[in-house]
Amino acid sequence: MTDRTIGYVGLDHHHAEPYLRTLERLPVAITCACEPNHSFDPSTVDPLDDVPVYRDLDRLIAAQSVDAIFVSLPNRDTPRAIERAVRAGIDVYTEKPAARTATELEELASWVEDTDATVCISYPWQSHPISRELADRLDDGFFGDLRAFDARFVASQLTFRDTSHFIFDQAASRGGILQWLGIHWIQLLSWLLEDPIDRVNATISHGTSGVDIEDGAALQLETEGGTLGTLQCGYYLREGIYDTRLDLYGSDGRSAWDPMGRTFGFDGETTLELDDTSGEWNSTPHRSVTHEYNPEPGYGGAWGRTFVEEFFAACDGDGDPPVTLEDAIEVLRILDAAYESAETDRWVAVE
């Protein structure tokens, strides 16, 4: 049974096929698509059925009746696409970060709030079972006074990637490794900590010839409550290899987690390591929580599907979407501060 109709906008994106695979597993129908890049052949997108493909979003909206659109356009073009859809009464699920800067979303968010439309930004890591385990333990006071965090997102070098694509173009995207991959942990930490990141000290590097976005970044972060953290990210490894980390340190406990594994995928298992320093786990102070994946295609596998299901629930009036425009603006303000810090060589406050 099909509950709603979907238009997909932005087929020339490496996440388009995974999102379409996710939607295949839900009670929805992809009835149309749009790809503004005339040099891109939509027939190369494997999960896309034989549906009309438009080269302009306004034409799609005029010709088709859809309940929601999924968007994976360049950051430069995403705010305008959201606006067009919302003005037509269409709900929107969009690839992160949804804009190049916070300013590009702020005015949009102010009037979207006064409409009935639901807009969700795709940061599905917060739906991962281990992320929710961490959130529960933070709420329960396992960590005590949270003192520090350490995050890492290192991926394969740009020599193994198609750097002619718009995601590696500064005008279309604004940034590189920090904006595309490091941002996942910035958003997840913002959601987990419930203590806003207050200031940033960042250094970025451009080590790949012919590419105008950064391929390396190192950040120091401090929350309003005084928690100190670091984020290291870069395109440094050989093809297909990842090195990720998300560790939390508190007065009463610590956690260690490798979210991605050596090669990214949604099978096998992932383990959260926990250490109690409060004495409450005196007999077994070190414990682990292992999540075994039930393999499932799509972006984020089963937990990515859960995130999309939460978006559809919000469309039906069941609460807010899992990540709102205001949440996305908060993340972009941290990025704005990071890029300003890298340019000025000083700590920058997050507005």
Structural tokens at position 297: 């295609």
Paired with 348 in beta bridges are 200
Query: What is the rounded distance in angstroms from the CA atom of residue 59 to the CA atom of residue 81?
Result: 12
pLDDT confidence of residue 262: 83
Q: Is the dihedral of CA 287, 247, 184, 104 positive or negative?
A: positive
Domain ranges of the chain: 4-124+304-323, 125-294+330-349
Q: Which residue has the tokens 């991605």?
A: 260
Asked if the 4-124+304-323 domain carries CATH number 3.40.50.720, the reply is yes
Q: Which fold has domain 125-294+330-349?
A: Dihydrodipicolinate Reductase; domain 2 (3.30.360)
As a whole number, mean pLDDT of residues 194-210 equals 95
- Residue 1, pLDDT > 70, answer no
pLDDT digits (tens, 9 = 90+) for 284-322: 999 999 999 988 999 999 999 999 999 999 999 999 999
Q: Over 90: is that where the pLDDT of 138 sits? A: yes
How many angstroms separate the Cα of 188 from the Cα of each of 22, 282, 320, 336?
21, 30, 17, 17
What is the pLDDT, as a whole number, of residue 2?
Answer: 66
Question: pLDDT, tens digit, for every residue of 39-62?
Answer: 999 999 989 989 999 999 999 999
- Predicted confidence at residue 233, as pLDDT, reads 98
Provide Rg for the chain, Cα atoms.
20
> What is the model's pTM?
0.96
Question: For residues 146 and 224, what is the distance between their CA atoms, to the nearest angstrom?
Answer: 12
Predicted local distance difference test score (pLDDT) of residue 316: 96
Helix (H) or strand (E) run with residue 340 in it = helix 325-344
Question: Which pLDDT does position 170 carry in this prediction?
Answer: 96
Distance linking the first and last C-alpha atoms of the chain = 46
